[in-house]
Amino acid sequence: MLIFNISLILVSILAGGIASICGFGIGSLLTPVLAIKCGTGIAVAGLSIVHFLGTAFRFWKWKQYINKRVLFTFGLTSAIGGLTGALFHNIFQNVILTIIFGLLLVFAGFSGMTGISEKWRLSGAAAWITGALSGVFGGLVGNQGGIRSAAMFGFDLKGKEFVATATGIALAVDCARMPVYFFTQWKDILHIWPLIAFGAAGVLMGTELGILALGKIPENLFKRIVSGMILLIGLLVLVHK
């Protein structure tokens, strides 16, 4: 148990750091680890607390860089989609859905690294619809950040603006989905509270380290780094299925 707790803290620090640089990664990296102890469904619900704490801290640090137009179009429908997906999380959770999700991440990551995504542009109804679809998919699978960030390539955002806006959207999604998890799985969440506490401590430490690192990343490398992380997480999702 001690080895698992130490591993959980170390992965949490890594996840918090990556999330501060890319705008996602906490749920994607920590869910497979915590699922070893309690199963995926409970892990997703419990980690929503860890995700909220890390995201809220990151939001407080970067709030001045948020793109309000993206937040209140793409972000609004993403939050609604995330709530919808969370409502059906335990009903539709299956291997096929996870495989589709992983393949979408791999495609998006590859497109970003090769420059194909440079041609994507979202505005008007497309932004609303893409936000909703990414939210629903993420809510069903429990890992919304990667698919949301991939969709956000359609907006012309700089590094800090990208992370800050993704963080604001993630916080809205957390506020929408957490009551659902608490209402339906509060006993299971309470049962794993020590693991949630370890995860939260690690994520907060990693978040601070990641915030310091983001300011040193050149803009011309930022999108490639985010794309690489999306690709990596997509592969991890497929392996863990």
Q: Measured at the alpha carbon of residue 61, what is the angle toward residues 63 and 139, in degrees to the nearest 5?
A: 70
Distance (Å) of CA 55 to CA 17, 37, 52, 184: 11, 24, 5, 23
- The string of pLDDT tens digits covering residues 31-52 is 888 888 888 778 888 998 999 9
> What pTM did the predictor assign?
0.81
Distance CA 47, CA 188 (A): 12
pLDDT tens across 107-120, in order?
Answer: 777 877 776 666 66
How many Å apart are CA 208 and CA 225, to the nearest integer?
Answer: 19
Please count the residues of the chain.
Answer: 241
Domain ranges of the chain: 2-240
Lowest mean pLDDT among 47-61, 78-92, 169-183, 187-201: 78-92
**pLDDT mean over 63-75:** 89
Residue 181 binned pLDDT confidence (cut-offs 50, 70, 90) = confident
Nearest to 215, CA basis, from 21, 58, 24: 21
Band (pLDDT 50/70/90 cuts) for residue 92 is: low
> Does pLDDT of 68 surpass 60?
yes
* Confidence check: pLDDT of 142 > 90: no
Identity at 158, one-letter amino acid code: K
Reply yes or no on whether the pLDDT at 158 is more than 80.
yes
Tell me, what's the pLDDT at 241? 60
